[in-house]
Structure 1
Amino acid sequence: MTKDVEHAAPEFSAKDYHDPPPAPLVDFDELTKWSFYRAVVAEFIATLLFLYVTVLTVIGYKHQTDTLHGGNQCGGVGILGIAWAFGGMIFILVYCTAGISGGHINPAVTLGLFLARKVSLIRAVMYMVAQSLGAICGVGLVKAFQKSYYNRYGGGANVLAEGYNTGVGLGAEIIGTFVLVYTVFSATDPKRSARDSHVPVLAPLPIGFAVFMVHLATIPITGTGINPARSFGAAVIYNQEKVWDDQWIFWVGPFIGAAIAAFYHQFILRAAAIKALGSFRSNA
């Protein structure tokens, strides 16, 4: 009887979730599949729509509060409305594209998932290119539709606000992106999904809320980048010296934040390093 229980015990201690195998570093087979190109197109269109709606919101708010041109200083959607526009669009677009491309819509998210071996190098590079081009096209549409307002109100471009030094801006981007990418990992963790299966969690919702909350905190500092494609697309179309001088902050900061989030989730929370060491010892 005791022996039977001992033999049966492993069945009850087995994992009730499945970790997908690490993505290959370079997977040339992806280049032969339509699903790969479909995912790249989905990232392009999603980022285009994201920039179109959010930059229009920013410019519309500035126009509505511009007292020199008939606006009302207390009008417009306010900082809260801008934050909702960014967070809401991420929620919508991640929900729409998660089953096709994973719903990255952000080179920093793509980098974090690449470092965690969730996507291959080829997919990561192609996603980043598609996201950047989509952002340029999205902001280009805004300028085409509202050229006078676009030029007058700064094109929705990210710059370091007056009164803040480079270190503060870089720190805001690092921490803000850490919050976002950490949320992405947590919301899509198969272990969490199995453990909390009685509590249905729609992954795009916490991701959208993370974007919303970070915008509330950092709009006064950098205008909130946390997405290199968003900052790059606005910089390319607006094309002013100050924007390009600060552009590196909106790449270096998000990439550092994403890398820290990937390390924290994979090696601290999921204890990947300890598991690898245990596997090595058992094999020895």
Structure 2
Amino acid sequence: MEGREEDVKLGANKFAERQPLGTSAQTKDYKEPPAAPLFEAGEIKSWSFWRAGIAEFMATFLFLYITILTVMGVSRSPSKCASVGIQGIAWSFGGMIFALVYCTAGISGGHINPAVTFGLFLARKLSLTRAVFYVVMQCLGAICGAGVVKGFQSSPYQANGGGANVVNHGYTKGDGLGAEIIGTFVLVYTVFSATDAKRNARDSHVPILAPLPIGFAVFLVHLASIPITATGINPARSLGAAIIYNRDHAWDDHWIFWVGPFIGAALAALYHQVIIRAIPFKSGG
């Protein structure tokens, strides 16, 4: 409580950022990295650029393959008790994100989701060139992943919805849009927090494995919104399933699974950068 009255009197912003309760006094020097350039033509000539795109393609391919197979297994089962059920589907999505972010974070950043890429682009963590390339490769990977599942079991795939995202009966389009916005906000905010270099520098004594909270956030969001939209929060995942399933009702609400995640990602980027990180805007003077 010491110093609290003075904080209130003068304003908390007058004081330097304090250590959270229960942490050691050790800190590391941290310098805010420069924003990524909007266009970086030179990186197109770099092998690391293309390798990162391939990693995003492969990760999204595997993500769709495993998760949609899980959805098909639950859909085909005569009884939910004879399958992994809704919880199993949620674990499949969260677990795959955990594994794939762990595998690809050091190569491409482990986005595996256009909404994540969009949020990080708004925060100037990567260039527009790389962001567009990532989104294209993620969408191609998702289409291929869903296509392989359909190739294995074409008739059951079509009969059981193909893992496509739709607004379920009993919910309005507004319900679906709201679920996608809030769900993506949770995911992208977790991504920002788990990968914050400033936090890692300050709390270096606290072991943080970034893929774990990210995967767990995906799991929790799926538990909440599978009944509403089958949970998109990933435009590439929604696009891949819709293209391969290709039924009219899969396209009717498809815009929700792009608009919702992009709004949620933008809000998460704004909240983290302006409120949590409190990165000041440049003054005109």
TM-score, scaled relative to structure 2: 0.89
- Structure 2 alignment gaps of length 5 or more: 1-24
Distance 1:132 1:126 in 2: 10
Distance 1:27 1:221 in 2: 40
Tell whether 2:84 aligns with 1:77. yes
* 1:151-178 residue CA offsets vs partner (Å, 9 max, x unmatched): 1101000000001001110000000000
Tell whether 2:52 aligns with 1:39. yes
Equivalence for 1:59: 72
Tell whether 2:272 aligns with 1:265. yes
Distance 2:108 2:199 in 1: 21
Tell whether 2:152 aligns with 1:145. yes
CA offset at residue 19 of structure 1? 2.6
CA offset at residue 198 of structure 1? 1.2
Distance 1:61 1:166 in 2: 25
Equivalence for 1:134: 141
- Structure 1 alignment gaps of length 5 or more: 1-11, 65-70
Please say if residues 132 and 229 of structure 1, whose CA atoms lie closer than 8 Å, have aligned partners that are also in contact. yes
Distance 2:91 2:28 in 1: 38
Distance 1:176 1:169 in 2: 10
- Name the SS of the counterpart of 2:82 in structure 1: coil
Quick one: which amino acid aligns to residue 68 of structure 2?
V
Distance 1:30 1:56 in 2: 36
Distance 2:118 2:175 in 1: 23
CA RMSD in angstroms comes to 1.6
Aligned residue runs from structure 1 range 1-284, under 5 A: 16-64=29-77, 71-273=78-280, 276-277=282-283
* 1:18-66 residue CA offsets vs partner (Å, 9 max, x unmatched): 33211000000111100000000000000000000000000001112xx
Please say if residues 55 and 142 of structure 1, whose CA atoms lie closer than 8 Å, have aligned partners that are also in contact. yes
CA offset at residue 15 of structure 1? 6.4
Distance 2:162 2:92 in 1: 16
CA offset at residue 199 of structure 1? 1.1
* Higher normalized helix content (fraction of residues): 1
Cα 1:53/1:263, change in 2 over 3 Å: same
Distance 2:194 2:113 in 1: 16
Quick one: which amino acid aligns to residue 155 of structure 1?
G
Q: Where does structure 1 differ by over 6 angstroms across 4 or more consecutive aligned residues?
A: none
% of aligned pairs identical? 70
Distance 1:19 1:53 in 2: 38
Quick one: which amino acid aligns to residue 167 of structure 2?
L
Equivalence for 1:67: none
Quick one: which amino acid aligns to residue 236 of structure 1?
I
CA offset at residue 235 of structure 1? 0.3
CA offset at residue 196 of structure 1? 1.5
CA offset at residue 273 of structure 1? 2.7
- Name the SS of the counterpart of 1:74 in structure 2: helix
* 1:178-232 residue CA offsets vs partner (Å, 9 max, x unmatched): 0000000000001111121111000000000000000000000000000000000
Distance 2:80 2:45 in 1: 55
Paired residue total: 261
- Name the SS of the counterpart of 1:124 in structure 2: helix
Distance 2:32 2:112 in 1: 23
Quick one: which amino acid aligns to residue 119 of structure 1?
L
Please say if residues 18 and 190 of structure 1, whose CA atoms lie closer than 8 Å, have aligned partners that are also in contact. no
- Name the SS of the counterpart of 1:221 in structure 2: helix
